[in-house]
Amino acid sequence: MTDEDISWLDLVTVASLIRKRELTSVQVTEAQLRRISRLDPSLHAYARTTPELALAQAHAADARQAQGETLGPLHGVPIAVKDLCWTAGINTAAGMPIYQDFIPSTDATVVRLLREAGAVLLGKLQMTESAFSGHHPDIVVPVNPWDSLGWTGVSSSGSGVATAAGLCFGSLGTDTGGSIRFPSAACGVTGLKPTWGRVSRHGVFELAASLDHIGPMCRTAADCGVMLGVLAGADPFDSTALQSPVPDYLAGNMGSLAGVRIGLDATYVATDVEPEVTAAVNQARAVFESLGAQIVSVNMPDADDLVESWVPHCAIEAAVAHTATFPARRAEYGPMLAGLLDLGLRLTATDYQRILLKRATHTGQLNALMLQVDLLLMPAMPFASPATERIANLRLEPGYRKRLSRFTAPTDMSGHPTLTFPAGSSTKGRPAAAQLVAAHLNEGLLVRAGRAFQGATDWHLRRPPSLDIFNSPERKLGSD
């Protein structure tokens, strides 16, 4: 196999080939490192690579394999993690120059679990400053492989780019207001935001403790299921990690969704949403129906006030997370994050309590709705992979945050799990995505539905155009 052939394999397939000794971990890792060396100078997905560590882990994986020993489902598979996950002996900066020299002495729980499952660490992926909505001015922003002018989403931008460009077989992202779902949608990959607490947050830089979710970003729903099976579970270092047993997320009938009730609010998915995105959601609906699912008309609870409350909620919790360095070192912060923390310090306990009451009300309403259906189908964001310039202009418009986050912030507030997956294309050839929402701890049904959809469609198999043409004067996409 060529490097190109290897790099576009899905995680489940490459793990199987390594397990059957049809490929070695060293072969796969070397192919990935060569691809990263060739493409990442243009894409900037990685904050730092760890080639020496990756090769040492790959050799160790092959030696164990030769002795008939397999560590776990990721044995020998190269992955990468967002740069807010602590990695022992490796710089972890969380997109913040203020932490560029921070070297943790221990791994985050999620990193430890990946290593124990046999994964090979290719490096740390670039991100926005402290996982909020903007990259620090000193950081080179990752480039969308579908279009050099396209938005990469926030804050797991490097995770979306690396996964979409074949620079890793799976990655870790985090989602506080949409940061697994936005880059997954914008870059055309599959992202699973688990139930809040399903995955330990120990050793992961906080943005907002009660909103932060950690989950996999991969090229298929099955890959996400394999990674989540490794990551999920109780953790003595994180008392908020749920004690519930971790199921086999790939169990169940992949091809049929008979008996599954999928709720759809036709008005909700079309109001203030680009037609290309609504079309992708409706096309997904038709596929799910063909697979045996029952589509149920529902009315989504009104979450406008809740979405407006997301920024002050996040601001208050972020201000707590940054107490050690803000405002004492304010000059070293970028303007977006500094503005958020300033807001958090101005708000009162009364403000916070009002937000918590809204949050509890909405969570109860969504829980009640999930008694009527098994899944909800909706967009992940109202745009089909927009141009970066368009997002910058939208930031200046009243109601920007509410429009962008209306399909993401509510389920971060409620803690419900979601699956984002490519389901269509814009007229400019960029990905368009759909999103499924499930009841708490029902990630297995999300994976099952995603696998069924991807078994019947090929949106997840589509690849970005050659990066070589990004430097061509003819490449002028992105002017929405």
Q: How far apart are CA 9 and CA 69, in angstroms?
A: 23
Q: Rg of the Cα trace of the chain? A: 21
Q: How far apart are CA 116 and CA 258, in angstroms?
A: 36
CA distances (Å), origin 263, targets 190, 245, 269, 382:
20, 27, 11, 18
Catalytic site residues? Answer: 82, 155, 179
Scan for tokens 């400019």, then name that residue.
Answer: 428
**Alpha-carbon torsion 273, 276, 282, 287, what sign?**
negative
**What are 241's two structure tokens?**
């990690």
Nearest one of 465, 459, 412, 464 to 433, comparing CA atoms: 459
